[in-house]
Amino acid sequence: MKDKKIAFIGAGNMAAALIKGLIQDGHPAENITASDPDRDKLNLIGEQTGIGVNSDNSAAIADADVVVIAVKPQVIEAVASGISTAVAERQPLVISIAAGIPTSHLQQWLGETTAIVRSMPNTPAMLQAGATGLFAAANVNDEQHSLAESIMRAVGLTIWVEQESLIDAVTAVSGSGPAYFFLFMEHMIRAAKVLGLPEESAHLLTLQTALGASRMALESDDNPATLRTMVTSPGGTTEQAINTFETGGLEQLVMDAMRAARDRSVELSSQIQD
Ligand SMILES: NC(=O)c1ccc[n+]([C@@H]2O[C@H](COP(=O)([O-])OP(=O)(O)OC[C@H]3O[C@@H](n4cnc5c(N)ncnc54)[C@H](OP(=O)(O)O)[C@@H]3O)[C@@H](O)[C@H]2O)c1
């Protein structure tokens, strides 16, 4: 994988996170190129990482084995159409991280035979702690499958979905998910202050608890429900809080919220495609 040449089209936040993650993973900087219309952005990422930079998208992918399209969905049609000749000549694997753009549209703009992996990363990818959903078009071969996975793993965990429509569910879970936890933290901090704790203590206790709970859930063989039961003694303090959440309809609220996020993802995709 480290001998593969990777070209990033768009050198914004996500591309920078992926490039930094790949370099930390030992991918040679000389095998990575980025292109972007913003020369200052290109120079900065070039200086920070040692990768090659180019302001011409097609020139950037001339010898690429993998092309990562990391531009905003609004410009992707123009960008994809602009590189279609270079892609047809080189036949690289194309990974798109653009939200809401289906593989069928990418193949229409890039060429029907183009091997495409569509991915949905999330913002913690900036800290190499992301969670990314991946979907491969039918013509992606095993080697390209592993290649896409190794690239996206540079910024965190990867999960493949078998049907492209499930990318909307991934969006509702991990794409929007960081905000759900931030909201819960906000409410815990506010409540901790009402209970008398100073702002800083309320903040630190809440965040460290979220980190500790997440690490326990990730590192334990037990599922979250078992871990919760283990810390909920009958008649104790935690039980009082859990009963209050359950009586207040937390389970249904989470279901409704995630269904709303999934439905909005479907709606936004169809608006982008129109
Ligand atoms: N950020 C996230 O958490 C996140 C999560 C999931 C998915 N995504 C997806 O990731 C993609 C990139 O997001 P981002 O946050 O990294 O956006 P971003 O920071 O705005 O990066 C996009 C980059 O593409 C450049 N660009 C614009 N037109 C171009 C062209 N014709 N050729 C080459 N580059 C061009 C932009 O330059 P200018 O700034 O000069 O226009 C910008 O540097 C989006 O499609 C988004 O849906 C992002």
Q: Quick: pLDDT tens for 3-60.
A: 899 999 999 988 998 999 899 888 999 999 999 999 999 999 999 999 999 999 999 9
Cβ(140) – ligand 1 distance below 6 Å: no
pTM comes to 0.90
**Average pLDDT for runs of 10 along the chain of length 274:** 92 91 91 95 94 95 95 93 95 94 93 95 90 96 94 94 96 96 98 98 98 96 96 95 97 98 90 70
Cα gap 218→43, rounded to integer Å? 38
- CATH 3.40.50.300 correct for 6-167: no
Mutate to test the pocket of ligand 1, among 33, 53, 72 (most ligand atoms within 8 A of CB): 72
Across the beta sheet with 130-136, what order do the strands follow?
52-54, 32-35, 6-9, 66-69, 93-96, 115-120, 130-136, 156-160
CATH 1.10.3730.10 boundaries in the chain: 177-269
What CATH architecture applies to the domain 177-269? Orthogonal Bundle (1.10)
- What pLDDT score was predicted for residue 274? 67
CATH 3.40.50.720 boundaries in the chain: 6-167
Q: What is the pLDDT of residues 204-223, one digit of tens each?
A: 999 999 999 999 999 999 99
Cβ(9) – ligand 1 distance below 6 Å: yes
Cβ(248) – ligand 1 distance below 6 Å: no
Cα gap 238→231, rounded to integer Å? 7
Of 255, 106, 243, 51, residue with least CA distance to 172: 255
Of 179, 173, 180, residue with least CA distance to 265: 173
Distance in Å, CA 8 to ligand 1 centroid: 11
- What pLDDT score was predicted for residue 156? 94
- What pLDDT score was predicted for residue 273? 64
